[in-house]
Amino acid sequence: MNLFEYVRPSSIAEAVAAAGEPGSAYLGAGTNLLDLMKGGVTRPSRLVDLTHLPDLNGIETLPDGSARIGALVKNSALAHDPDFAKRFPVVAEALLAGASAQLRNAATVGGNLMQRTRCSYFNDPASACNKREPGTGCDALGGENRSHAVLGWSDHCIAVHPSDFCVPLAALGAIVEIAGAGGQREVPLTDFHRLPGDTPDRETVLEAGEMIVAVRLPADAAAFADHQRYLKVRERTSYAFALASAAAALKIENGTIVEARLALGGVATKPWRAKAAEALLAGAAPGKQVFEKAAEAAFAEARPSGDNGYKIELGKRVVARVLAMAAAGTPDRMPALPASPFAPIPEGVVNV
C-alpha cells in the first residue's frame, strides 16, 4: 500500500473540497478500498475519511413516505432495521445475502454503491485492464471469464458489477443523493452506474470530489412489500459472490400483477433493471408461463462474453424462480439462508 495523506473533514463541504484534488479517494469503512490498496489496484495519494461526518448515519421516513438512508449507515444496521426491513424486505434480503456478517457490520450504504468489480484481471495489477488502467486492453477477454458479464459488456470491459444491495435498489427505483462542489444533485440508481462502453474506468456519474450523501427509496416502492424476493445462486452456500441473482417485486391486486419490478445481479456490468420484462408482467396473472416469458425478455439482449454462456440460461431460471417466489409472497421472517436456493421454497415453484 502506498503512503497517502489522511484527511478527516468535519463537514460535507470540507470533504468535497478535500476530495477535489486529483488522486483523492473517499474512505468509508474501507472494506473495499483497503482491499484494493493492499493489492496495488488503486493507489490514492489522499484519503478523505468520511466516517466521522455527522448526519450521514440515519434511516428516516420522509413526510412523503419515502425512506432516506444516510450514506454511512452500515449494511447490517439497514438490514436489521425493523421498519425498513418490513417496508423493503427485498433490500434486507439482498443485504444479508452479501459478504459476511463482519463485512456487513463495517461496510456502508454509500460504499456498497461504490464497490469495484471482483474481475480477477481488474484485481491483478499485472494484467491488462481498461478499467484499472485505461487503454491497456482487457485480459478477461479470452481469459478465465466464466464469471463475467453477459449483459452490458463491451469489447473494452466484461467485468460484472458485484453488488447484491444495488440489485433491489435498481428494481425499486432508488435515488442517489450526491453532494459536490456545486451543491447537491440526485440521480436514479439505474443511471448512477455507467455502462463500460469505451471508458470502463468511469464507473459512475460522480464527478471529481462528488460524494454520496444518501440513498432514497421512493414511497411508491413500499407498495410492493407483500411480494418481493431476492434470489442468489453461488458456488458456496454463503460468503460468495453471485453467479446470477435477481430481485423481484410485484404489486398484485385481485390475482393480477398490476406492476412489476425486476433487476439482475451477477450477470451484468452494472445493476441491471429489466424493464422489458417488467412490461411483460404488468397486467398478467402470476404463473409459470409468464414468468418464463419475462425471463426470456430480461435476457433477450444477453450474449456470452467468453466461456460464460451458461449464465444466460442460469439467469433466466433465476428470474423465473424469483418471480414465482415473489408472487407467493414475502415471508414473515427472513429465511435462515437469505436469498439462497436452499431457503424454504414456496410450493410448486420448482420447475424441472
Partner 1 sequence: MSEIASLPTGSRQRQGSNIGQPMTRREGVLKVTGQATYAADNNPEGLLYAVVATATIARGRVTHLDVEAAKAHPGVVEVLTPQNRPPLALDPDAKLHGFMFRLDLLQNDGVRYAGQPIALVVARTLEAANEGAALLAPQYEVEAPRVDLDGENFVPEVVGPGAPARAETGDFDAEYAGSAKTLEATYETPPQYHNAMEPHSIVAAWDGDRLSIDMPTQGMAMAIDRVAGLFGIPAENIHIRSPFLGGGFGSKGMPAGPQMLGIIAAKHVGAPVKLVLSRQQMYGPVGHRGQTRQTLRLGMSDDGRLTAIEHHTLASTSRFDDFVEPASNASHTLYAAPGIRTTHEGARIDIGTPMFMRAPGEASGSAALEGAIDEAAFAARMDPLDFRLLNYAEVEPISGKPFSSKALRECYAKGAERFGWAKRPLEPRSMRDAEGRLVGWGVGTAMFPAIMFQAAARAVIRADGSGLMETGAHDMGQGAWTALHQIAADGLGLSMDETEFRAGSSDLPDAGIAGGSGHTATAGMALHRAGEDVIAKLTELAVNDENSPLYGAGNVGVVARNGRLVRQDDESRGEPYAAILQRAGLAEIEGKGQGVPDAGPREKYAMDAHGAVFAEVTVDPDLGQIRVTRLIGAFAAGRVINPRMVESQYYGGMIWGISFALHEEAVHDKRSGRIMNANLAEYRVPVNADVPSLETILVHEDDPYVNALGIKGVGEIGVTGTVGAIAGAIWHATGVRVRRFPINVADLLEGAAAR
Partner 2 sequence: MNLSLTLTINGKRREIVLDDPRVTLLDLLRERLDLTGSKKGCDRGQCGACTILVHGQRINSCLALAISYDGASITTIEGLADGDALHPVQQAFIDHDGFQCGFCTPGQIMSAVGLIAEAQAGEDAERVREAMSGNICRCGAYKGITEAVLDAQAKISAGKERDAA
Q: List CB contacts of 26: < 8 A, sequence separation 6 or more.
A: 15, 19, 47, 48, 50, 114, 211
Q: Rule CB under 8 A: is residue 30 a binding residue for partner 2?
A: yes
For the record, the C-alpha cell of 199 comes out as 471508458
Cβ(159)–Cβ(269) below 8 Å: yes
Judged by CB under 8 A, which of 162, 209, 315, 338 binds partner 2? 338
Nearer to partner 1, 268 or 324 (CB): 324
Measured from the CB of residue 343, what is the shortest distance to partner 1 in angstroms?
Answer: 10
Query: Which residues does residue 108 pair with via DSSP β-bridges, in sequence order?
Result: 74
What is the nearest approach in angstroms of partner 2 to the Cβ of residue 103? 6
Nearer to partner 1, 93 or 210 (CB): 93
**Residue 67 interacts with partner 2 (CB under 8 A): yes or no:** no
CB 231 within 8 A of CB 74: no
Stretch that binds partner 2, among 22-30, 131-139, 222-230, 245-253 (CB under 8 A): 22-30
Q: Which of 112, 190 has the CB closer to partner 1?
A: 112
User: Residue 102 touches which of partner 2, partner 1, none (CB < 5 to 8 A by kind)?
Assistant: partner 2
Dihedral of the alpha carbons of 137, 138, 142, 148, in degrees to the nearest 10: -160
Residue 112 site contact among partner 1, partner 2, none (CB < 5 to 8 Å, cut-off depends on kind): none
Give the cell for residue 229.
424476493
Binding-residue total with partner 2 (CB under 8 A): 33
Contact residue for partner 2 among 120, 154, 199, 238 (CB under 8 A): 238
Burial per residue of 132-145, b for 16 or more beta-carbon CB atoms within 10 angstroms, e otherwise:
beeeeebbbbebeb
Minimum separation from the CB atom of position 342 to partner 1 (A): 5
**Residue 229 vs 251, nearer CB to partner 2:** 229
Q: Quick one: which of 85, 99, 247, 324 contacts partner 2 (CB under 8 A)?
A: 99
Of the two residues 128 and 219, which places its CB atom closer to partner 1 in the complex? Answer: 128
Interaction site with partner 1 (CB under 8 A): 1-3, 38, 40, 118, 120-121, 124, 126-127, 139, 142-144, 146, 233-241, 243, 310, 313-314, 317-318, 320-321, 337, 340-342, 344-345, 347-352
Burial pattern 282-307, b for ≥16 Cβ within 10 A else e, equals: eeeebeeebbbbbbebbbeebebbbe
Binding partner of residue 34 among partner 1, partner 2, none, CB cut-off 5 to 8 Å per kind: partner 2
Binding status of residue 296 toward partner 2 by CB under 8 A:
no
CB of 34 to partner 2, least distance (A): 5
Q: Specify the residue, 1 or 279, whose C-beta has the smaller distance to partner 2.
A: 1
10 lies in the site for partner 2, by CB under 8 A? no
211 interacts with partner 2 by CB under 8 A: no
Q: With CB cut-offs between 5 and 8 Å by kind, which of partner 2, partner 1, none does residue 338 bind?
A: partner 2
Residue 262 contacts partner 2 per CB under 8 A: no
Binding residues for partner 2, rule: CB under 8 A, are 1, 3-6, 8, 27, 29-31, 34-35, 38-39, 47, 49, 51-52, 76, 80, 99-103, 105-106, 237-239, 336-338
